[in-house]
A and B are shown apart, each in its own frame.
Chain A
Amino acid sequence: MSASPSLRNRIALQVRDIPRSGIRDFFDIVSTMKDVISLGIGEPDFDTPWHVRESTVFSLERGATHYTSNLGYLELRKALSKYVSKMFGAEYNPDSEVLVTVGVSEALDIALRALINPGDEVLFHEPCYVSYRATILFAHGVPLAVETKAENGFRLTRAMLEAKVTLKTKVLMLNFPNNPTGGVMSRQDLEDIAAFARERDLIVITDEIYGELTYDAPHTSIVSLPGMKERTIFLHGFSKAWAMTGFRLGYACGPAELIEAMMKIHQYTMLCASSLAQKAAIEALTRPEVDVGEMVAEYRRRRNYIASAFAEMGLECHRPLGAFYAFPSVAKFKLPAKEFAMRLLHEERVAVVPGTAFGDCGEGFVRCAYATSLDNIKEAMVRLKRFVGKL
């Protein structure tokens, strides 16, 4: 929808000049069509575990319907602190180093706003989650995109960062396991990046929302490396590993000064995260093992299936190692990714997201989410195979 010219001119430049998410445009088209199998959904197909939902209802009945502390319920922050220590290997003080947010989305926004002066540069790697570039721009930062490559497993290297960094660079954003590529970083890969961040005195914002979802090797967090906790804001949430996207719950852990700065923005703009969602999160954390472990096993089977289906039909795809996305190359068909996705949608009713939604360097790729039933995946692979056979 475009506003009248005079109103359009009143929109703040950094908002006006940013295009809407390519995902949104694509959604508008797909949602008008019938019988589409969607590999375009960036959220789990699992239901939120029943014990979490049941206990949310109980909390509602008991009247947990009020504002909470700005930082979030202390009970939740304590549980988070324990969880992060066990899973990610960093100790945070629940009184001052943990902030509960409205999803990782809010945490990303306030982390950047807390750090960026106009003109400060932010290094991030593309293809990446759709909101990164926009969120940097909203915070009046200057985005410095570094391109990760399929032949390298979409990993980030020190050399790539060295080529872009300047004296004005203040922040490095990381997201592994990665949306949209399924790429992960080993401890060794991260050690190089950590050394770079220390030498350049950068603040690292690490979005580890897919941290539980790795399939071949356990996840390593950059916060667990020496000298990193004091310069890192660690972000995580309940959307993916607990299938709680609609609850809108995330959290940030970091040095007290940075959490305090983020808390100020959060306090004035959000007040607190939903009390019910926080209660749900407490329940999720007290019995996490069963739910998450079984989900991971199921995703792994689907990952295996989709990877071998791509191989059979001759689609080149870096083996996805984490999150629930595969990012095959469609470059050999000599079609722009968007056109590939459009034709696939119209001719075979399969929705995938063009790689360009995740940055210009996503050209030549499409994102296929395997967070959908195996039956859907099987049918989608039959259709995709037929489609690429015709190209």
Chain B
Amino acid sequence: MDELLKILEGNALESRATIAKMLNLPLAEVDQRIADYEKRGVIRGYQTILNEDQLDLDKTTAVIEVKVTPQREGGFNTIAERISRFPEVRSAYLMSGGYDLLLFVEGRNLRQVAAFVSERLAPLEGVVSTSTHFMLKTYKRLGVLMHSEQTDERLTVSP
């Protein structure tokens, strides 16, 4: 992967000037390349990684395994894209193995998620079955540990 993307993936707030220094590139080229990635849709957005367990939110996340029948034209894509358009669905993946789609669905509470599954998702044409798991606690998200304190055990000066 382009090192520029790697840096942004690690910290989207890294300043362009710093990135230019790290990559030994002119600032204008960094700006240009980022603009280009945005235009091409390689970069789809910039978000913040929250430790939601600390925020006491009214929010429940469920992981839902969905079996579907692929459509005659469009295969899995048609049904997967239809499902993905629901705002409750935060992430959706086509999977190998015992089921077809894996969804991360958010709602205010258990009841709301249950309602989404039974009233919206399950009745869709092509959805064969669903299996819903509620998430209890987050240990790591997007490569970031949620509960470990960063400590530097090193001596402050060493040879």
Contacts and interface: CB of A to CB of B under 8 A. Distances in A.
A301 B157 contact: no
Given A41-B155, A43-B154, A130-B159, 7 more contacts: A21-B159, A31-B156, A40-B156, A41-B157, A43-B158, A131-B159, A297-B6
The number of chain A residues touching the other chain, given as a range, is 20 to 34
A379 to B, nearest CB: 12
A36 interface: yes
B23 A304 contact: yes
Contact of A129 (B156, B157, B159): B159
A309 B17 CA distance: 11
A304 B156 contact: no
A381 to B, nearest CB: 10
B32 interface: no
B21 A45 contact: no
Chain B contact residues (Cβ within 8 angstroms of A): what range?
A: 10 to 19
Contact of A374 (B18, B156, B159): B18
A131 B23 CA distance: 34
B157 A353 contact: yes
B158 A308 contact: no
Contacts of B149: none
A1 to B, nearest CB: 19
Contacts of B48: none
Contacts of A301: 3, 7, 22-23
Contacts of B3: 297, 301
Contacts of A23: 157-159
B96 interface: no
A373 to B, nearest CB: 9
A310 to B, nearest CB: 11
B24 A42 contact: no
The 4 closest A-B pairs by CB, nearest first: A40-B157, A301-B22, A27-B157, A308-B21
Contacts of B23: 301, 304
B154 A27 contact: no
Nearest to A381: B21
A304 B30 CA distance: 15
23 contacts: A21-B159, A26-B157, A27-B155, A27-B156, A27-B157, A30-B157, A31-B155, A31-B157, A36-B156, A38-B157, A40-B156, A41-B154, A43-B158, A45-B152, A130-B159, A297-B6, A304-B22, A304-B24, A305-B21, A308-B24, A351-B156, A351-B157, A378-B18
A318 interface: no
A130 B158 CA distance: 10
A304 B157 contact: no
Interface in B1-43: 3, 6-7, 18, 21-24
Given A297-B3, A301-B3, A301-B7, A309 B155 contact: no
Contacts of B18: 305, 374, 378
Nearest to B7: A301
A302 interface: yes
A26 B21 CA distance: 30
Interface string B59-71: 0000000000000
Contacts of B152: 45
Contacts of B158: 23, 27, 40-43
Nearest to B155: A27
Interface string A119-151: 000000000011100000000000000000000
Given A301-B3, A304-B24, A308-B21, A42 B156 contact: no
A302 B6 CA distance: 14
A130 B3 CA distance: 35
A126 B31 CA distance: 43
B147 to A, nearest CB: 15
Determine which residue in B3, B21, B159 has the highest number of CB atoms from chain A within 10 A of its CB, and name it.
B159
A228 to B, nearest CB: 27
A99 to B, nearest CB: 23
Q: Please indicate which of the listed interface residues B156, B157, B158 has the most CB atoms of chain A within 10 Å of its own CB.
A: B157
A45 B154 contact: yes
Nearest to A311: B21
Nearest to B3: A297
Interface in B87-127: none
A288 to B, nearest CB: 20
Contacts of B157: 23, 26-27, 30-31, 38, 40-41, 351, 353
Contact of B22 (A45, A131, A302, A353): A302
A301 B22 CA distance: 4
Contacts of A30: 156-157
Interface in A24-68: 26-27, 30-31, 36, 38, 40-43, 45
